[in-house]
């Protein structure tokens, strides 16, 4: 997918300019790279590439909002903002981003909104688009923490296998740093371990 061609669409161009003015250049580049990687994964798994590209492009739309804005926007989805969210408000940027897309830009695509909501921690019941974004966000080539060995370990895995590998990468990283794990991430782990 060529991002320059894709942003010829006036609606996408409008969101693209919002992203450029609300994200640092580095995070904007990460968003574009996540879009390209999402599109490539979509091609691999027979999913709509344009939809995957767009989801990757917008996934961090609220990533640089203030803590107050994150809490305010996330709460609009009707789910509780918990103590653990308030302790790390940055984890709310997925939920907040989904609500920004819905309310500021009129996006109604529930799978896309769910993909944004779940991209920070993962959760059980993720659909294909959410899984594509979850993997793409972690492995896009501008990420510095990803080794060639990790990328080659994903080769040949189905989408759930890739999600599991990415999730375990994140959980191991959190364990190394002594950080706590969101319950949603553990629910995803359990779901994948018990899948047929
Ligand atoms: Fe993010
Ligand atoms: Fe991201």
For 82-94, the pLDDT digits (tens) are: 999 999 999 999 9
* Ligand 1 ion local residues (Cβ < 5 A): 60
Domain-wise residue ranges, the chain: 3-193
Question: pLDDT digit string (tens) for 125-179?
Answer: 999 999 999 999 999 999 988 899 999 999 999 999 999 999 999 999 999 999 8
How many separate helices (H) and strands (E) can be counted in the chain? 12, 0
Helix (H) or strand (E) holding 103: helix 93-105
Q: Which of the ligands is closest to the CA of residue 94?
A: 1
pTM of this prediction?
0.95
The pLDDT of residue 6: 62
Q: Yes or no: say if 132 and 45 are a contact pair by the CB < 8 Å rule.
A: yes
* Ligand 2 ion local residues (Cβ < 5 A): 60, 137
Distance 40 CA to ligand 2 centre (A): 16
Superfamily of domain 3-193: Hypothetical protein af1432 (1.10.3210.10)
Q: What is the CA radius of gyration of the chain?
A: 16
DSSP-derived 3-state class of residue 196: coil
């Amino acid at each position: 997918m060529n991002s320059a061609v894709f942003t010829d669409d006036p609606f996408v161009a409008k969101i693209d300019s919002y992203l450029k003015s609300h994200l640092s250049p580095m995070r904007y580049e990460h968003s574009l790279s996540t879009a390209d990687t999402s599109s490539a994964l979509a091609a691999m798994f027979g999913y709509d590439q344009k939809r995957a590209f767009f989801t990757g492009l917008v996934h961090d739309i609220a990533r640089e909002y203030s803590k107050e804005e994150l809490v305010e926007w996330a709460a609009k989805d009707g789910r509780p903002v918990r103590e653990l969210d308030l302790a790390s408000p940055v984890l709310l940027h997925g939920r907040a981003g989904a609500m920004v897309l819905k309310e500021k830009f009129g996006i109604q695509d529930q799978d896309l909104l769910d993909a944004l909501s779940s991209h920070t921690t993962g959760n059980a019941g993720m659909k294909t688009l959410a899984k594509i974004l979850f993997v793409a966000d972690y492995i896009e080539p501008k990420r510095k923490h990803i080794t060639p060995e990790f990328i080659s370990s994903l080769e040949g895995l189905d989408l759930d296998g890739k999600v599991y590998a990415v999730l375990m990468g994140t959980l191991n990283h959190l364990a190394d740093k002594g950080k706590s794990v969101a319950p949603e991430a553990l629910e995803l782990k359990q779901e994948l371990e018990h899948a047929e």
